[in-house]
């Protein structure tokens, strides 16, 4: 008997606890998962799929990407993790869209779905649509695109700066070899000589002094900030139209962080590209983003322009996030934190997922999951309270609290 099964086996006393699984239940889940996974994998492995099957049109031609009702699930032995559960938002051309939310809310899985890089076979896009307008003028439905076609778009058109710069470089190859490979794979007609010249040019562009020396070094010989710059240089070496930056500055100190962000912004303007910027850091969002998407437990709970989200947040979670920002204004020097925990992703409730942590609960909140309520043409929030509640800005809240004390 394997250890996991031993620990998850249901006993008479915990018969009512849904977190415990009997061996039979586990086998049933595994059988069902296999069936579902086989169906999705079969569809993805099809060869010679006619292009018309995955060509589509954008709802708004100003957008580069449109996510619509995206559902990405992980079919695990203990149940289905609904990592992304009905996400819809747009990335307009030339804009930076910031995605915020606490750890595990589905930020990375959303971006990996766009790259078709969700961990297979357990991770699958089960429903929804991701439309992408490529540089060749065609719009692709990423969820239906065959793997081999996706290889051409990934890297050429869309580049991703991964969340862990420390582990994303291969430790046994020199920086130059890893960078040249990207150029040789994605730039048409590239030779070894032109690839080297391009790699060195990109290293210069990201502000690395002595790029020729770094080109010949191994990843362990560089500092964290330099490795992050190399990752960015690599991502930008094929002039992508869309950059997905997943926590690009988490591993860096604040001065390097500011330089890297400035660099990203400069490059975006130079190539008139768009950026999907994923971060926990509200300061980074305020500094960089045009539009903000706030995620909670696999869903978008609020989205709007950076001004609207920061000055007039409408969802209690966003308000909590704003109040959690360190600020010199708090009276007792204590940081605010949102009490409670996110519900179990395998067993999500039918009502609002934030209900157990919310201090503004309305009778409607006990009913079905709230729809998005629009507050302006760009600003919406999935909350019954803000539908009726007064406008609330975080500074106002903080001041009120200080006066109360």
| From the list ligand ATP, Mg ion, none, partner contacted by residue 358 (C-beta under 5 to 8 A by kind) | none
Q: Is 119 in the site for ligand ATP (CB under 6 A)?
A: yes
Burial tier of 183 (Cβ tally within 10 Å: 0-12, 13-18, 19+): buried
Q: Is 105 in the site for ligand ATP (CB under 6 A)?
A: yes
CB of 101 to ligand ATP, least distance (A): 6
Q: Please tell me the distance from the alpha carbon of residue 316 to that of residue 314, in angstroms, as a whole number.
A: 7
Q: Is 108 in the site for Mg ion (CB under 5 A)?
A: yes
Q: Which stretch binds ligand ATP (CB under 6 A): 98-106, 269-277, 314-322, 327-335?
A: 98-106
Residues 255-284 that bind ligand ATP (CB under 6 A): 280
Q: Which stretch binds ligand ATP (CB under 6 A): 33-41, 103-111, 124-132, 256-264?
A: 103-111
Nearest Cα residue to 143 out of 48, 72, 83, 58: 72
- Three-state DSSP at 252 gives coil
Nearer to ligand ATP, 158 or 267 (CB): 158
CB of 108 to Mg ion, least distance (A): 3
Burial tier of 47 (Cβ tally within 10 Å: 0-12, 13-18, 19+): exposed
Q: Is 124 in the site for Mg ion (CB under 5 A)?
A: no
Residues 341-380 that bind ligand ATP (CB under 6 A): 345
CB of 250 to ligand ATP, least distance (A): 9
Nearer to ligand ATP, 69 or 262 (CB): 69
Q: How many residues line the site for ligand ATP (CB under 6 A)? A: 18
Structure tokens at 19: 């977190």
Q: Is 248 in the site for ligand ATP (CB under 6 A)?
A: no
DSSP 38-99: HHHHHHHT-SS--GGGGEE--SSTTEEEEEEEEEEEEEETTEEEEEEEEEEEEEETT-EEEE
Q: Which of 79, 98, 123, 176 binds ligand ATP (CB under 6 A)?
A: 123
DSSP single-letter state for residue 154: B
Q: Is 108 in the site for ligand ATP (CB under 6 A)?
A: yes
Pairing of strands 79-92, 380-381: unpaired
328-337's contacts with Cβ under 8 Å and 24+ in sequence apart are 329/398, 329/399, 329/402, 330/398, 330/402, 331/401, 331/402, 331/405, 332/405
| From the list Mg ion, ligand ATP, none, partner contacted by residue 337 (C-beta under 5 to 8 A by kind) | none
Q: Please tell me the distance from the alpha carbon of residue 68 to that of residue 254, in angstroms, as a whole number.
A: 35
Q: Please tell me the distance from the alpha carbon of residue 330 to that of residue 323, in angstroms, as a whole number.
A: 10
Q: Is 104 in the site for ligand ATP (CB under 6 A)?
A: yes
CB of 212 to ligand ATP, least distance (A): 35
Q: Is 76 in the site for ligand ATP (CB under 6 A)?
A: yes
CB of 375 to Mg ion, least distance (A): 28
Q: Is 110 in the site for Mg ion (CB under 5 A)?
A: no
CA distances from 111 to 41, 128, 263, 269, 360 (A): 20, 14, 21, 21, 31
CB of 114 to ligand ATP, least distance (A): 12
CA distances from 245 to 99, 175, 279, 306, 311 (A): 10, 20, 9, 18, 25
Binding site for ligand ATP (CB under 6 A): 74, 76, 81, 83, 101, 103-109, 119, 122-123, 163, 280, 345
Enumerate binding residues for Mg ion (CB under 5 A): 108
């Amino acid at each position: 008997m394997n250890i996991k099964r031993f620990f998850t086996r249901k006993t008479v006393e915990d018969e009512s606890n849904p977190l415990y699984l009997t061996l039979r239940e586990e086998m049933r889940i595994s059988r069902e998962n296999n069936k579902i996974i086989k169906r999705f994998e079969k569809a993805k492995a099809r060869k010679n799929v006619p292009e018309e099957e995955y060509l589509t049109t954008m709802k708004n031609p100003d957008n580069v990407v449109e996510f619509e009702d995206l559902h990405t699930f992980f079919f695990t032995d203990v149940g289905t993790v609904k990592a992304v559960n009905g996400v819809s938002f747009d990335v307009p051309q030339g804009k930076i869209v910031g995605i915020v939310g606490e750890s595990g809310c589905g930020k990375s899985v959303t971006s990996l779905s766009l790259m078709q890089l969700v961990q297979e076979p357990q991770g699958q896009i089960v429903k929804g649509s991701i439309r992408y307008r490529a540089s060749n003028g065609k719009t692709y439905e990423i969820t239906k695109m065959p793997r081999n076609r996706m290889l051409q778009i990934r890297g050429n058109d869309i580049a991703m700066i991964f969340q862990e710069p420390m582990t994303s470089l291969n430790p046994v190859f020199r920086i130059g070899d890893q960078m040249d490979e990207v150029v040789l794979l994605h730039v048409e007609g590239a030779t070894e000589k032109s690839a080297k010249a391009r790699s060195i040019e990109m290293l210069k562009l990201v502000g690395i002094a002595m790029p020729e020396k770094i080109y010949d070094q191994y990843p362990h010989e560089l500092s964290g900030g330099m490795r992050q710059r190399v990752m960015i240089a690599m991502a930008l070496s094929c002039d992508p139209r869309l950059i997905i930056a997943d926590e690009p500055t988490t591993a860096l100190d604040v001065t390097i962080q500011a330089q890297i962000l400035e660099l990203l912004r400069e490059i975006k303007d130079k190539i008139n590209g768009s950026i999907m910027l994923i971060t926990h850091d509200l300061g980074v969002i305020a500094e960089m983003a045009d539009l903000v998407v706030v995620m909670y437990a696999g869903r978008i709970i609020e989205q709007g322009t950076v001004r609207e989200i920061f000055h007039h947040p409408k969802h209690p979670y966003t308000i909590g996030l704003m109040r959690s920002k360190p600020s010199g204004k708090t009276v007792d020097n204590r940081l605010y934190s949102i009490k409670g925990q996110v519900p179990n992703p395998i067993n999500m409730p039918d009502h609002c997922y934030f209900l157990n942590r919310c201090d503004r609960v309305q009778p409607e909140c006990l009913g079905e999951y709230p729809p998005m309520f629009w507050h302006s043409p760009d600003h919406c929030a999935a909350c019954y309270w803000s539908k009726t509640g007064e406008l609330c800005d975080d500074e106002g809240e903080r001041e009120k609290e200080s006066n109360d004390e």
